[in-house]
Amino acid sequence: MASQAEDIPFTFRRFQEGDDRPRPLSEQIFKADKSHKCPTYVHRTPPCQANCPAGEEIRGWLHAARGLEKPPEGESWQDLAFRRLTAANPFPAIMGRVCPAPCQQGCNRRVVDDHIAINAIEHTIGEYGRTHGLDLGEPGPDTGHRVAVVGGGPAGLSAAYQLRKRGHHCTIFEAQPQVGGMMRYGIPGYRVPREVVDTEIQRILDLGVAVRTECRVGTDITLEELDSSYDAVLWSVGTHEGRPLPVDGWDDAPNCLTGVGFLRAFNEGRLGAVSDRILVIGGGDTSVDVASVARRLGYSADLPDEERPEHAVVGYTAHDAANLAVREGAAVILTSLFTREEMAASEQEIDDALREGVELRDSVMPTTVEKDEDGRACAVHFAECRMEGNQPHPIEGTEFRVETDLVIAAIGQKGNLDGIEELDNGYGFMEADARYQLAGRPGHFVAGDIIQPHLLTTAIGQAATAVASLDTYLQGQQPAKPPKVNAHHFNLLDALRRAGREPEPYEPEAVRETDHSAFAIHNYEDRGAHEVIRHDRLYLGYFTPGKRPQRERRQIDPDGVVGDFHERISPLEADTAHKEARRCMSCGMCFECDSCLIYCPQSAVERVPKGERAIGRYVRTDYSRCVGCHICRDVCPTGYIQMGLGE
């Protein structure tokens, strides 16, 4: 997205023309014998972090990327940023490639020009960590507790990581031959190369995580055995069953498949070609992946009947590469109930698919699957539709027919709960409360798509929250409800500790004047767990409009897409990522711009001495000089200063 700077009149002001009336009493400097005049420093959560389902401390690792927080001697900024990022998300190289980046939708910088390229910087940090062999540190002190993690997808692996960092032993039970879940069996390799998946998973396993693959709970091991052998169980079985298309003619047509099954067959190497005419029904990311994979696979006119694509998908056979030597581009049509603008899929992925030759027909609904004399689907009947909420309604007189050789429905997923039916809520999912406890089963917790299918980053964040509740349970306490703003938050004491400036021990008998005592942080308030800072609290006039850098993205045309399984995007160069991180407005946290120092007419604001300084503790106020003019608040770009000390 190009910069919008030329479309915005940059007249950010605290006071507008005509503001000539007195302020309310609560904003006046003096009120009787009480003062409301002095600044305090208030930490709030930036909207990027509040929008991140994984709960990353985005502002924190951007501080490292921009050089505001310095790494230890001998380390690069990427080393420090990697540690800060992976505290919440152990898959930066994967998520930097595939996350749709809801953080960027919330970025306050959009009000000035354009959002920060958060996802691109994460990609750069993740690639640095992968190519330089960075690890996830050491596991926590051994607690002696043993936890079973059922399912080795993004939620299960993230849970295992968080459990080991807390010192709990854990074993992952995975029904598939390899762990990875949708990262391995759902996302095509040209979006996330398999070596990237392998590296980021291995870092977690290196913490001492035990894995039992091809072991399905409910078949190979019982619920009772889990309960007797482990102190707690975390369910993260994912949703690997596609939903059938709810129209007449679908159920018994052999060439009607689900998107999940199609992508699994492709990622397992069983599917080497498709039919001539492919119809993909969906509108989300999975459907776009299916359509894009189908274009890459192409079709072979010499493919024998016994090697039709549906046989490879359901596992009866695998394609013989010798039969696929000559391939042509398949005609792929993607349909959606919603308009293109309202489709759930990533806009960039839709653009790429269209450029690569996929045809999109939006605002249409399937009504019937037509079959030939052999019982195979030969066409699908559609009608244009209008949406009322999530319910489509056909428009009379707009019916049409699309001939096809293969129909793939990517309209939703559910879990495979065979053998553990008592955990099924009746819809193919598991029921979790606000603390991610499994309903009716003490000591059982749940995370990921099996609660409700969503993003990979959502599964990662849910796993961290579920582990926090599980950890509290193992301590014999009742898990607490997650905070209103559930993320990895900035902590001033941690910042001081990292800088080697932890406050002195508290000695009650020595306390006389608290403002001169060194056991506490004065005039600072932490509201991060409760408040998200909006752009109207910032002084936007401080920021110079600029242009967001773009990652290099290979443009593949329809003629060149067949057989092209190479990665499409490249990470930003380190210098570009460093420069882009400096566009971050550090919403809700001081970034040491000196504006309050420069503009204070009383010289009441001063820098904290270097020996006491840390992130978030750069300036302080001499209240004997402060007259409550509010100028420091007005010129603070990040909204870190609030008037009315103690209120």
pLDDT tens string 96-152: 999 999 999 999 999 999 999 999 999 999 999 999 999 999 999 999 999 999 999
Neighbours of 25 (CB within 10 A): 10
Per the structure, the complete domain to which residue 186 belongs is given by: 146-240+415-474
Query: Does residue 571 fall inside a structural domain?
Result: yes
Is 317 or 231 the better-scoring residue by pLDDT? 231
Centroid of chain to Cα 1: 20
Q: What is the mean pLDDT of residues 626-646?
A: 86
Same domain? For 367 and 451 the reply is: no
Same domain? For 324 and 347 the reply is: yes
Going by DSSP bridges, is the β-strand pair 524-526/444-446 parallel, antiparallel, or unpaired? Answer: unpaired
pLDDT band at residue 3 under the 50/70/90 scheme: very low
**Tokens 């192409």 sit at which residue?**
298
β-sheet bridge partners, residue 359: 333
Same domain? For 87 and 210 the reply is: no
Centroid of chain to Cα 59: 15
Which of 412, 431, 455 is the last residue before a domain boundary? 412
**What are the DSSP calls for 583-604, one per residue?**
T---TTS-----HHHHH-TT--
Same domain? For 497 and 629 the reply is: yes
Query: Does residue 4 fall inside a structural domain?
Result: no
pLDDT, residue 515, reads 54
Residue 400 is inside which H or E element, if any?
A: strand 400-403
Query: Does residue 108 fall inside a structural domain?
Result: yes
Q: Is the pLDDT of residue 6 over 60?
A: no
**What are the DSSP calls for 520-569, one per residue?**
S-TTEEE-TTT-B--GGGS-GGGSPP-------B----GGG-TT--S--B
Q: Is the pLDDT of residue 5 over 80?
A: no
Same domain? For 266 and 317 the reply is: yes
Q: With the C-alpha atoms ordered 583, 586, 591, 593, is the resulting torsion angle positive or negative?
A: positive
pTM of the model: 0.91
Same domain? For 406 and 269 the reply is: yes
Query: Does residue 467 fall inside a structural domain?
Result: yes
Same domain? For 255 and 226 the reply is: no
pLDDT, residue 646, reads 41
Spatial distance between the Cα atoms of 138 and 256, rounded to a whole number of angstroms: 48
Spatial distance between the Cα atoms of 512 and 489, rounded to a whole number of angstroms: 32
Q: Is the pLDDT of residue 519 over 90?
A: no
Query: Does residue 7 fall inside a structural domain?
Result: no
Centroid of chain to Cα 483: 18
Query: Does residue 562 fall inside a structural domain?
Result: yes
In the numeric block, which tokens belong to residue 402?
A: 């699309």
pLDDT band at residue 439 under the 50/70/90 scheme: confident
pLDDT, residue 442, reads 93
Same domain? For 347 and 447 the reply is: no
Is 123 or 626 the better-scoring residue by pLDDT? 123
SS3 state of residue 378: strand
Residues above pLDDT 70, as percent of the chain: 88
Same domain? For 265 and 367 the reply is: yes
* CATH label of the domain that carries residue 448: 3.50.50.60
pLDDT, residue 322, reads 43
Long-range contacts: 68-77, Cβ < 8 Å, 24+? 68/586, 68/591, 68/592, 68/615, 69/615, 76/128, 77/578
Query: Does residue 588 fall inside a structural domain?
Result: yes
> Which residues are CB-neighbours of 454 under 8 A, at least 6 positions away?
53
Spatial distance between the Cα atoms of 240 and 176, rounded to a whole number of angstroms: 11
pLDDT band at residue 31 under the 50/70/90 scheme: very low
pLDDT, residue 499, reads 85
Q: With the C-alpha atoms ordered 462, 464, 467, 468, is the resulting torsion angle positive or negative?
A: negative
Buried b (16+ CB within 10 A) or exposed e, 248-266: ebbeebebbbbbbbbbbbb
Q: In what order do the strands lie in the sheet with 641-643?
A: 524-526, 39-43, 641-643
Same domain? For 374 and 519 the reply is: no
pLDDT tens string 343-357: 999 999 999 999 999
Q: Is the pLDDT of residue 615 over 60?
A: yes
Spatial distance between the Cα atoms of 444 and 173, rounded to a whole number of angstroms: 15
pLDDT tens string 37-46: 688 899 999 9
Total number of domains in the chain? 3
Which of 474, 501, 517 is the last residue before a domain boundary? 474
Same domain? For 470 and 547 the reply is: no
Whether 282 contacts 365, CB under 8 Å: no
Which amino acid appears at position 175 of this protein?
A: A
Spatial distance between the Cα atoms of 57 and 46, rounded to a whole number of angstroms: 9
> Which residues are CB-neighbours of 463 under 8 A, at least 6 positions away?
154, 155, 156, 158, 159, 162, 234, 236, 447, 448
Helix pair 574-581, 58-66: axis angle to 10 deg: 120
In the numeric block, which tokens belong to residue 285?
A: 């990311």
pLDDT, residue 509, reads 60
Spatial distance between the Cα atoms of 311 and 314, rounded to a whole number of angstroms: 5
| C-alpha closest to that of 457 among 189, 89, 159, 117 | 89
Same domain? For 293 and 371 the reply is: yes
Q: How buried is residue 123: exposed, middle or buried, by Cβ count under 10 Å (0-12/13-18/19+)?
A: buried
Spatial distance between the Cα atoms of 390 and 357, rounded to a whole number of angstroms: 28
In the numeric block, which tokens belong to residue 505?
A: 């021990």
Whether 96 contacts 120, CB under 8 Å: yes
Please state, rounded to an integer, the average pLDDT across all residues of the chain: 90
Query: Does residue 355 fall inside a structural domain?
Result: yes
